[in-house]
Structure 1
């Protein structure tokens, strides 16, 4: 079944469900950025106290589309369902109550399928960009330095495969930083990156060493990622007045120098 047919089928079945006040597409489809590989993200506004019953309704509807081979359901304040059918159609649902629909949402990221109560029309057209979350960025800065600082442990134990896992985490933190630099809207899921970063940023990622286990290769990779990350992270912290963990950075680099005999002068601010 084609994606547009799935969307029409689901919207048609839910339009008469009394517990559903509104239904729209979010994610790539909601922003008009979908391609042939996109999953389908639905946002449903539900009556209070209906999360459990709607989860059952949702599963029955998806079963009409195809065999469900993966079902992950999470219920707290909201209802989140991730489903995959036998033909690998990925369908996600976020079910929220009406009083939570305005949290972090704007009309330009949604395609309304129906809205019985006129709730979605009250959303702002676009969200104001207030910059990155300071607490999240400070955590990421500290985490990068912490992982970098574990290099003497991995080298001392000759845990070169674990060292490469550390570089993998450094790479993920670098990618997150690059996305924050561009402040690209409609970021989508983990499989969207090409449209979120610039040509210069892609060249930077391509220039970094391959992840190969071994003492020299692991050290080279750690230092290369540090050289790519730290100056850019300091610049972003300064731009948004986010506290930089300067003392933690200083003692970490000093420890790398003393324990491994490395020249880290190029990494200093």
Structure 2
């Protein structure tokens, strides 16, 4: 499961001799490579109770995929692993408390897994509706004297910057721009044209999340939760809420029919990302 940004990750590795037995190494180094390509080597400690077992603590500073490389000498051994760090405020339509209540979970022991599937549920919902949780997006557009630019994600809440990617190019003051939040069409208030390779930063999402979206999210969450736990009762026995009649391009069987019906009023027009 992903770690929270700023959390401490306990990295563990085992040094084994060529015959497979645990062995204390002459040297032990663990290297963590961050998503931006930089690397750090946190201090390594051998477990006091078991020879050949090592650990290191790393405090996360950047969201994304991290790689871990253990290397021992005397005996020579190596081990590679990965871990993920989520954003400081990962998008989630349902709070952890709401998700836990909907799944009828009293204990908090499964919270990490609930959070994982809750975030996955949000991505599934936004596949149909566009951004629900307000957050920032950046995209580039190449335009030549265009009256407007259509941003890819809607609803748009605000455009925060329009800058030229090229040195010496035109940068537009956002106070002189307006955007149609529903369609994502960006244009100049004075009627002028937009030109150049532009990097546009904007916020998109919903300030109010309607009940049909939260209800659809609850159904998807429970469906995904049940598919991971066949031993705990499996899927609802043919119930309409959790029936999936055909695979969905890009999502497979992840979204039940009832959830699709609930999301239909906010569904993106065909061809819109």
TM-score > 0.5 by shorter chain = no
Q: Is the strand fraction higher in 1 or 2?
A: 2
Q: Is the helix fraction higher in 1 or 2?
A: 1
Q: In terms of Rg, which structure is larger?
A: 2
TM-score by length of 2: 0.24
TM-score by length of 1: 0.24
